[in-house]
Amino acid sequence: MRPLLKWAGGKRSQVKRIVGLFPGDIRERGYHEPFFGGGAVFFHVEPNSGSINDINPKLMNFYRVVRDDPEALIEEASKYRYEEAEYYELRTRYNSPGLSEVEYAAILLYLNKTAYNGLYRVNSKGEFNVPFGRHVDPTIVKPRSIMRASRLLGEIEIRCGSYDYVLDAAEEGSLCYMDPPYHPASETANFTDYSTNGFKVGDQERLRDLCLELNKRGVNFVLSNSYTEKVMEFYGGHGFRIESLKTRRSISSKVSSRDSGYDLLITNNV
């Protein structure tokens, strides 16, 4: 199925190439996605078991509510109207403490469908600060998709923390799909902050070490990252398969001219 949310760096347009690197019987294996975001790959694969994780607590609360209380989510989000004053009122509520889990989830869904460009961005205090977006009659709630996602998430462990839990969670023969914040394509590009936590070069190096460890333990991994010398250097020379993949960004005018327009896909599934 399609993802429920639009997310920066979402992989919907690349999903076929990514899944092409997975073992053929992937739905029979454990599946772990530690940088979940909109989870385009998970929702495409529809795995039967495993775990999902993201460092963004309100995002993972959303998926927990989708799994455990989808009717309440649908009912709550159906109350909200696409209207500028209501948008700012709901945005203020979202940034306040004390709402129920269902309310936070419903407002996140609303903001995702109505914010400028469907962006999720927070300021240094962790407050969601994207302005109202101009959309043509956006659909905020798709009850059937929510119910379907709820069934899909039924047997999946939903976590919220750092990605390295997979070292404990991923059993031999399972698969980890990893889509971290990308190493910047140029020194000046600054798109590492999806949540309040930046992902620095040291973090990229630690993630590479984690891939080496997963490989040692017989866990399959597929990782997306930017097509940069640094990423090549990190993953080259270990016997991994490294492929390039043309991205949509290459046709965007907003992108740094030094962006190669390609991503890398790295896997030990050779």
Ligand X SMILES: C[S@@+](CC[C@H](N)C(=O)[O-])C[C@H]1O[C@@H](n2cnc3c(N)ncnc32)[C@H](O)[C@@H]1O
Contacts with ligand X by CB under 6 A lie at 7, 9-11, 34-35, 37-40, 53-56, 162-163, 179-181, 194-195, 197, 199
| Residue with smaller CB distance to ligand X, 9 or 143 | 9
- Spatial separation of the C-alpha atoms in residues 41 and 176, rounded to whole Å: 11
| Residue with smaller CB distance to ligand X, 78 or 123 | 123
The three-state secondary structure class of 51 is strand
| Residue with smaller CB distance to ligand X, 76 or 225 | 225
- Spatial separation of the C-alpha atoms in residues 188 and 190, rounded to whole Å: 6
Cβ atoms 204, 180 nearer than 8 A: yes
**Interacting residues of 102 by C-beta distance below 8 A, sequence separation 6+:** 65, 69, 72, 73, 76
Residue 36 CB neighbours (<10 A): 27
- Nearest Cα to 240, choosing from 205, 260, 211, 263? 211
Per the listing, tokens 């490294």 go with 242
**Interacting residues of 58 by C-beta distance below 8 A, sequence separation 6+:** 94, 104, 108
Q: Report the alpha-carbon angle 98-102-106, nearest 5.
A: 105
To ligand X, the closest distance from the beta carbon of 244 in angstroms equals 17
| Residue with smaller CB distance to ligand X, 199 or 240 | 199
| Residue with smaller CB distance to ligand X, 122 or 232 | 122
| Residue with smaller CB distance to ligand X, 76 or 224 | 224
To ligand X, the closest distance from the beta carbon of 179 in angstroms equals 4
| Residue with smaller CB distance to ligand X, 63 or 110 | 63
Cβ atoms 160, 51 nearer than 8 A: no
Between the CA of residue 229 and those of 12, 233, 234, what are the distances in Å?
A: 25, 6, 9
Q: Partners of 244 in the beta sheet?
A: 264
Per the listing, tokens 């190439």 go with 17
What is the token pair recorded at 225? Answer: 């990252």
To ligand X, the closest distance from the beta carbon of 131 in angstroms equals 21
